[in-house]
Amino acid sequence: MNIGQASKAVGLSAKMIRYYESIGLVHPTARTEGGYRTYRESDLHHLRFIRQARRLGFAVEDVRRLLALWQDHARASAEVKAIALAHVSDLDRRIAEMVSMRDALAHLASTCHGDARPDCPILEGLAEVVSEASPASRRTRAASPAHAAPTAVSGDACRACATDPDDVRARQKSGAPHSDRTRGKRADSLPRQDTDSGHQE
């Protein structure tokens, strides 16, 4: 089948399939007389495997390792389990970061009157974090150990809410502009319901 048919069969966009090919996760070798790729059932199995692993939040290199183990009938299941448990630990860390982020934002929101007054502790809190991150503020903090650092959120936690990095990379390869409103998908995301269609990216 052609890439459009494969896209519908596995629930990935053609752009994502091409991206996974470009980084060597899938290797369709069959071609039509006109030189177009055709996808066999084995290729579809690989694409479905990749899709599910990515939806569970595995990094691309972990997916590569899992694919290799899946195809290796002499594999040791202990290696597969080790990869899975390492990912569970990473998810636990990101969940804790997101809970901290949620609590910090909820605290800021609880201090805001939310009326016609211009004063807003939420904006003041965000501005304080930006100020604390500046080199001058870091020097001031170093000279004043008693200065209390504001609640901050790690980059990993913010990235956990971002769009799917695979989608971003696929867009970069194709030259398409990236939108911050990309349909709520994220690669290094938490497990979620299978809602992708062939037109999601």
Q: Where are the domains of the chain?
A: 3-78+165-174, 88-157
pLDDT for res 17: 96
CB atoms inside a 10 Å sphere around CB 90: 16
pTM across the whole model: 0.63
31 bridge partner residues: 37
The list of the chain residues with pLDDT below 50 reads 146-162, 178-201
What is the assigned CATH class of domain 3-78+165-174? mainly alpha
pLDDT for res 180: 44
pLDDT for res 128: 83
pLDDT for res 185: 42
